[in-house]
Amino acid sequence: MNVAAPQSPFLQWLYRGYMLAFLAYLAAPLFAAGMFAFNDSMFPALPWNGFTLDWFFSSTEPKIGMFHDRRLLRGLENSLYIGVLVSALAVAAGTCNAFLFERKQFPGKNVFYILMIVPLVIPGVILGISILVFASMIANGLEETFGIEWDFLRPGLFLVILGQFSFLTTITSLVIAARLRKFDISLEEAALNLGATRLRVLMTVTLPYLMPALFSAFVVAFLVSFENFNTTLMLVGSDAPLTITMYDRMVKVGSTPVLNAVSFFLMVGSGMLALLSVVVQKKDEPAT
């Protein structure tokens, strides 16, 4: 008998009903957003006019499918570019941080550790404006004193990457550090005793052990970068990522089913990535 559970059957059913209602609440908007991508209508609303794939593949007016909509594709391309780059950078920096905080002893470590977590508790909008302001101050200073024009310090892809990097690094650091903490250091010592160099130990023992964590840190960073809005909004230039393009479309043109199609595409894509990361973690679990 599970003492933690309610004992009367009535309460048990009530509890199960609550869980079902909760799951329905979670699924409702996703379902609604996805469903109307397949409705043969000009508006994402009832009545249901029959099934169509036009909102994905059609290339004729007035129904331009998402794979023929140049601005949406451009946004998708920018998002992928930003996501891959920023995740790679954040994983690299996160690995350094994990080694720093798990392996090294130095004065003020606790204070630095708190500093490492702080980016997670600063609202994204503020990270965005502060980086915008700081980059502009540097750019203006350079222009006034030396007459150099550094355009990459103005809103654009470079600043978007810096802005996302600033908080993604905290996430990757925490994920990688958690795995490094479980590592049995005697494995490294054994390899060293057997005559391996430090670099070789790192490449053949420690990093392979960390691989699942590096992978899932990359996936998490990529997904968070892909869906980030608040920080990106403040730093974006002419090359807008997909979320910003979508938002623009929603506000200026109003909602059309092509946005549902993009939503469906994003849900399937990120769902598969998340699942992949879970599978990689799971496969590794018995070994630890």
Partner 1 sequence: MARTDVGKLSFILLFAPFALWIALLIILPQLGIGYISLREKVGPGEYTFGFSNYVAFLSEPIYWNTLLRTAWMSILVTAMALAVGFPVAYYIAKIAQRRSRAALFLMCLIPLWVSDLVRAFGWIVILRETGLVSSLLQKIGLVSGPVELLYNDATVVMGLVYTVVLFMIVPLVSTLDGMDNSLIEAGYNLGGSRLTVFRRIVVPYAMPGIVAGCIIVFMLTAGSYLTPILLGGKNSMWFTEQIYEQFVTRYNWESGATFGVLLLVFTSFVVWLGLRLTGQSLASTVAKD
* Contacts of partner 1 in 107-166 (CB under 8 A): 110, 112-127, 129-134, 137, 162, 165-166
Total Cβ atoms within 10 A of residue 88? 13
Of residues 75-114, those binding partner 1 (CB under 8 A): 92-93, 96-97, 99-100, 104, 106, 110, 112-114
Our finding on whether 24 is near partner 1 (CB under 8 A) is: no
The whole-angstrom separation of Cα 209 and Cα 79 is 30
The whole-angstrom separation of Cα 254 and Cα 266 is 19
Among 53, 148, 178, 185, binds partner 1 (CB under 8 A): 178
| Sign of the CA dihedral running 173, 127, 89, 281 | positive
Of residues 235-254, those binding partner 1 (CB under 8 A): 243, 246-247, 250
Our finding on whether 42 is near partner 1 (CB under 8 A) is: no
Distance of closest approach, residue 116 Cβ to partner 1, in angstroms: 7
The whole-angstrom separation of Cα 274 and Cα 186 is 33
Closest to partner 1 by CB, 10 vs 25, is 25
59: part of which helix (H) or strand (E)? strand 59-60
Among 157, 191, 258, 259, binds partner 1 (CB under 8 A): 259
Using CB under 8 A as the binding criterion, the count of chain residues that bind partner 1 stands at: 84
The whole-angstrom separation of Cα 135 and Cα 129 is 10
Phi, psi of 154 (to 5 degrees): -90, 160
Task: Find out whether 49 and 39 touch, Cβ atoms under 8 Å.
Answer: yes
Amino acid at site 135? A
Closest to partner 1 by CB, 119 vs 156, is 119
Distance of closest approach, residue 22 Cβ to partner 1, in angstroms: 5
Among 229, 239, 281, 284, binds partner 1 (CB under 8 A): 229
Closest to partner 1 by CB, 61 vs 285, is 285
Closest to partner 1 by CB, 27 vs 59, is 27
The whole-angstrom separation of Cα 215 and Cα 218 is 5
Among 17, 29, 141, 208, binds partner 1 (CB under 8 A): 29
Our finding on whether 43 is near partner 1 (CB under 8 A) is: yes
Place of tokens 């996805």: 34
Half-sphere exposure of 85 (CA within 13 A, CB side): 14
Whole-number Cα distances in Å, 252 to 97, 109, 247, 269, 272: 43, 49, 8, 26, 31
Distance of closest approach, residue 278 Cβ to partner 1, in angstroms: 7
N residues, the chain: 288
Our finding on whether 174 is near partner 1 (CB under 8 A) is: yes
Distance of closest approach, residue 193 Cβ to partner 1, in angstroms: 15
Amino acid at site 133? V
Question: In this chain, which stretch among 21-29, 62-70, 185-193, 203-211 interacts with partner 1, using CB under 8 A?
Answer: 21-29
Q: Which string of x and - marks every residue 182-221 that binds partner 1 (by CB under 8 A)?
A: ----------------x-----------------------
Distance of closest approach, residue 97 Cβ to partner 1, in angstroms: 5
For residue 63, what are the β-bridge partners? 60
